[in-house]
Amino acid sequence: MTQADKQAESIEYVPTESRFSVYTNRVEITISTWDVRFKIMEILEKDGDTLRIKKHGDVVMAPLHAKALARALESTIKQYEEKFGEIDLAKHDNLVVPA
């Protein structure tokens, strides 16, 4: 929750027709001076030496918001691991591709 959220008396979520939900098991992250871009993808299958990947789209945000998201994700993953056990990334190094 942001400081602005804490200061507000109430929060109203406004519905939108463009809301979507998508499954992802691969993210490529790129940066520029102005933003951080998360390329959201889904690995479908491996056919021989070819990896078939569906590109769902991009999530683009200011570096400030990306850092806040990273902090929120870190906290959420910590809670998850406390409840369900450690997530071992050693076998899954292809899930996030940094810039």
Comparing CA positions, the residue from 13, 4, 20 lying closest to residue 58 is: 20
Question: Which pLDDT value is given to residue 13?
Answer: 86
Between CA 21 and CA 90 the distance in angstroms is 28
E-assigned strand segments in 1-99: 26-31, 36-47, 50-61, 96-97
18-55 tens-digit pLDDT: 888 999 988 999 999 999 999 999 999 888 889 899 99
Q: In this predicted structure, what is the pLDDT of residue 46? A: 85
99 vs 45, residue with greater confidence: 45
